[in-house]
Amino acid sequence: MPTLVLLRHGQSQWNLDNRFTGWVDVDITEAGRQEALKAGELMKAEGLRFDFAHTSVLKRAIRTLNTALEVMDQLWVPVEKTWRLNERHYGALQGLDKAETTAKHGEAQVKIWRRSYDVPPPAMDLKDPGHPANDLRYAKLDVKALPGTESLATTLDRVLPYWHDAIAPQLKAQQTVLVTAHGNSLRALYKYLTDVTEAQILEINIPTGIPLLFDLDDALKVKSFRYLGDPDAAKRAAEAVANQAKAGKH
Ligand SMILES: O=C(O)[C@@H](CO)OP(=O)(O)O
């Protein structure tokens, strides 16, 4: 049976600081490392043996993947890193404090930017040093493919070719696959896999460091899915993500 695990990276420095992160390459905190270790323990206790792993080109995801695989004694598993699994690009919001942004623009607007399906945040200028066109790791890519902002829909548009070309064929070959990525690139995949509506995806938040296991049928339709470990802890952690942008929060 094809098995897919989606794992959001452990807490990053900017998760802790409550800043919009997107494609900024911040590292995980010590608490994030502990989450990655725990994720490895949960996957090990589940008896998972991965055939392949995929991650982004951002170190919070790469380090989480390596940390979890090490706990499982599966550091040997082949890994592909791709920009297509990067976090959703947060445009001009990258680096801003989430609660301050809410105080300035209001809760409703910030929820639209954070969680709506097809409304992107204001774009980052191509000349901005933070634009991916000015980052060496993307130098070989067509500059037109590099976003200055993304909605969840356009994030899914760039995740899906990788899903179809790289991940789906492995699952169709009955392999067990781990994807370690980000809150919104994983929400995009979650929407695609579970077929939730655009209204429902607005309320979906993916907690850091808790493996989400999907049992799929041979056509890759979802038979069932669940967070590993304590379901209440996963629910509380998802609620905490939803509440990060409340005004006055820090
Ligand atoms: O800042 C970000 O890039 C994401 C994930 O950390 O945040 P949010 O949950 O607000 O979409």
Q: Which CATH number goes with the domain that contains 234?
A: 3.40.50.1240
Within a domain: residue 45? yes
**Distance in Å from the first CA to the final CA of the chain:** 43
Ligand 1 centroid–CA 94 distance in Å is: 9
User: Domain limits at 32?
Assistant: 3-211+230-245
Query: Hey, how many other C-beta atoms are within 10 angstroms of the C-beta on 25?
Result: 15
pTM over 0.90, yes/no = yes
Within a domain: residue 220? no
Within a domain: residue 216? no
Q: Which of 9, 54, 131, 182 is catalytic?
A: 9
Q: Domain tally for the chain?
A: 1
Within a domain: residue 224? no
Q: With a 6 A CB cut-off, is 86 part of the ligand 1 pocket? A: no
Ligand 1 centroid–CA 89 distance in Å is: 9
How far apart are the C-alpha atoms of 10 and 68, rounded to whole Å? 10
Ligand 1 centroid–CA 139 distance in Å is: 25
The total number of residues written for the chain in this structure: 250
How far apart are the C-alpha atoms of 89 and 188, rounded to whole Å? 13
Q: With a 6 A CB cut-off, is 238 part of the ligand 1 pocket? A: no
Within a domain: residue 139? yes
Within a domain: residue 71? yes
Q: pLDDT tens digits, the chain, 250 residues: what are they?
A: 899 999 999 999 999 999 999 999 999 999 999 999 999 999 999 999 999 999 999 999 999 999 999 999 999 999 999 999 999 999 999 999 999 999 999 999 999 999 999 999 999 999 999 999 999 999 999 999 999 999 999 999 999 999 999 999 999 999 999 999 999 999 999 999 999 999 999 999 999 999 999 999 999 999 999 999 999 999 999 999 999 888 776 5
Main-chain phi, psi angles of 220, to 5 degrees: 70, 25
Told to judge if 9 belongs to the known catalytic residues of this protein, a careful annotator would answer: yes
Q: With a 6 A CB cut-off, is 113 part of the ligand 1 pocket? A: no
Q: Whose CA is nearest to atom 10 of ligand 1?
A: 114
Within a domain: residue 217? no
